[in-house]
Amino acid sequence: MTNLPPNPANPGSNLAITVIGLGYVGLVTAACLAEWGHRVTGVDADDTRLTALRRGSSPFHEPGLESLVQSMIRAGRLRLASQAAEAVRDADIVFVAVGTHDGNGGWQTKTMLGCLKAVVPHLREGAVVVIRSTLPPDFVAQVGDIVAELRRGDDGQVSLLLNPEFTQEGKALDDFRSPSRVVLGVASDHDGRGQELLVAMYRAAKAPVIVMSAVEACLAKLGSNLFLATKITFANEMAALCDAFGGMIDPVVGAIGLDPRVAPSFLGAGVGFGGSCLPNQVAMISRIAESGGVATPLFAAVDEINHRQRNRFVDLIAEMLDGRLRDSRIALMGLAFKPDTDDIRDAPSIAIARSLIDAGADVAAFDPMPAARAAASQALPFLFVADSVEEALRGADAVALVTEWPELVNLDWTRVRALVRRPVVIDGRNALDQGTVLRAGYRYAAFGRGRHTPVAAFIEPSSEVVRTAITANTDVGDLETSLPGH
């Protein structure tokens, strides 16, 4: 590793950076900072993870990450280490990206505290500590004092900033390289050097850098996720209205999303949001707000409705099987909480599979990611996890799509008919082209799309405009539509 000092004409270049915690956020941060030309040391306490990384394999699936890590290690710009105290001694900046989940749907700050205690006393004077992990606001309000306390003595001061990530799994490298914005929250920065160094470092991102207090940065991060969760929940409520009054959700959210004040993304109705961030943060913020004496009924409702979607999906499957889940075989398509990841943390698939099994159904699940399949088997020992999509589909009484992987959405539905016992599809992501599925002879249900029985001939609309007009009207074309209770 080259050991040139930072260029005084460009203080944001060629920095010595240590990243502590090589989980999802830390590994992406370390690899991308190395790509920007910094001298990065990645630290993780898990030797197995370090060994795998040295052998060139990433601990999780993220498009492009494995090859970037390999090339940065080969170029000598990314070094791996297990001892934090040693690795931070000469660092200009130390990013801390350790886990803050308690494994039970809540937060824990023990790992963060342990890490700060292990690291802060060993920093050189003027070093900058940057917390990248998401933390609860009550902890953030104290963290500046905690670090100052750890620097008592003759060691000199260090700066402490928050730099929350807005990383979407599956798009993590792009989100780092070209973010929509960079948020910096200042907890303590006596001479302003910390802020200056980070602003200079992030010039490479060519994005607006917004500097605020640490608590504000924490709330900006949480607020972004809370807004996305609320937006999805809004779409799910609109879908329920469509089902109740006889409309299709697609043109409804299409029209709403074209208003530039709203924007089209995150208006996809379905089984709801999962993953390591959104569900956890929505649930936690309500509890933390309550302990701070604030009522947040909106977020409590988002949490409740999101869980309700999973139950609604199970009810929808039962409805499509004429109320009989017991002894029915359900092919559960997709386990990861969304495509392009192998992450099943708080994935709707797991809660749905559990409810189906509890109701006496046989569930055969499949996900294209072997790691997602292995994790699901471990999480639910009674779940049959198939090694191939054909194995999951064979003999199924209903096909339930939970994750919109392109290879599952684009199955040859006519060929699939030869595998399943009954041609019934329940689309938990509103991802399938219902015309294709109906033409292939299936009964079809989704969220806010009515319930459909197969048709002999479904005339494909010739243009997108006509198509939207037709899907807006559930009563046209050759579609035979029956709404709940009809």
Contact between 179 and ligand UDX by CB under 6 A: the answer reads no
**Residue 169 lies near ligand UDX (rule: CB under 6 A):** yes
- How far apart, in whole angstroms, are the C-alpha atoms of residue 306 and residue 312? 10
| Residue 475 exposed, middle or buried by CB count within 10 Å (0-12, 13-18, 19+) | exposed
- Residue 164 Cβ vs ligand UDX, minimum distance, rounded to whole Å: 8
Query: Quick check: 228 binds ligand UDX (CB under 6 A)?
Result: yes
φ, ψ dihedrals at 212, nearest 5°: -150, -175
Query: Three-state SS string across 220-237, please?
Result: HHHHHHHHHHHHHHHHHH
26 binds ligand UDX (CB under 6 A): no
**Which H/E stretch holds residue 362?**
strand 362-366
Say how far residue 281 (Cα) sits from the centre of its chain. Answer: 12
Q: Which of 138, 178, 142 is nearest to 160 (CA)?
A: 142
Residue 271 has which token pair? 């089984």
Interface characters, 206-225, with ligand UDX (x: CB under 6 A):
-------------------x
> What is the nearest approach in angstroms of ligand UDX to the Cβ of residue 180?
9
Instruction: Please choose, out of 270-278, 355-363, 381-389, 448-456, the segment that lies near ligand UDX by the rule CB under 6 A.
Output: 270-278
C-alpha–C-alpha distance, residues 139 and 215, integer Å: 9
Quickly tell me which residue has 């999805």 as its tokens: 232
Number of residues that bind ligand UDX (CB under 6 A): 20
In angstroms, what is the C-alpha Rg of the chain?
A: 25
Q: Using an 8 Å Cβ cutoff, are 41 and 80 in contact?
A: yes
Report the nearest approach of ligand UDX to the CB of residue 27 (Å): 15
| DSSP-assigned states of every residue in 107-145 | B--HHHHHHHHHHGGGSPTT-EEEE-S---HHHHHHHHH
d(CA 140, CA 101): 15
* Residue 60 interacts with ligand UDX (CB under 6 A): yes or no: no
Of 12 and 136, the one with the shorter C-beta distance to ligand UDX is 136
Q: How far is the CB of 273 from ligand UDX (least distance, A)?
A: 3
CB nearer to ligand UDX: pick between 328 and 349: 349
| Interface stretch with ligand UDX, choices 266-274, 354-362, 441-449, 454-462 (CB under 6 A) | 266-274
Please list every residue from 321 through 350 that binds ligand UDX, using CB under 6 A: 337-338
Should residue 283 be labelled a site residue for ligand UDX when binding is judged by CB under 6 A?
A: no
By CB under 6 A, is residue 165 in contact with ligand UDX? Answer: yes
Q: For residue 282, give both structure tokens.
A: 């929505």
Under the binding rule (CB under 6 A), the answer on residue 405 touching ligand UDX is no
Interacting stretch for ligand UDX, rule CB under 6 A, among 138-146, 209-217, 264-272, 438-446? Answer: 264-272
- Asked if 115 and 37 count as a contact pair (C-beta separation under 8 A), the reply is no
Establish whether 277 is a catalytic residue. Answer: yes
Q: Given candidates 107, 139, 234, 273, which one binds ligand UDX under the rule CB under 6 A? A: 273
By three-state DSSP, how is residue 333 classified? strand
Tell me how far, at minimum, the Cβ of 246 lies from ligand UDX, in Å: 23
Note whether 168 binds ligand UDX by CB under 6 A: yes
In the complex with ligand UDX, the residue whose CB is nearer, 134 or 159, is 134
Q: Shortest approach of ligand UDX to residue 94 CB, angstroms?
A: 21
Residues 358 and 102: their CA atoms lie apart, in Å, by 26
Contact flag: residue 32 with ligand UDX (CB under 6 A): no
* Residues belonging to the chain: 486
To ligand UDX, the closest distance from the beta carbon of 10 in angstroms equals: 29
| Smallest separation (angstroms) from ligand UDX to the CB of 4 | 33
The neighbour count for residue 397, using CB atoms within 10 Å, is: 21
Looking at this protein, which amino acid is placed at residue 319?
Answer: E
Binding to ligand UDX by residue 195, rule CB under 6 A? no
CA angle 74, 60, 201 (to 5 degrees): 55
Interface segment toward ligand UDX; rule CB under 6 A; list 26-34, 196-204, 268-276, 468-476 = 268-276
Positions touching ligand UDX (CB under 6 A) are: 165-169, 225, 228, 232, 266-268, 270, 272-275, 277-278, 337-338
Any idea which residues carry the catalytic annotation? 277
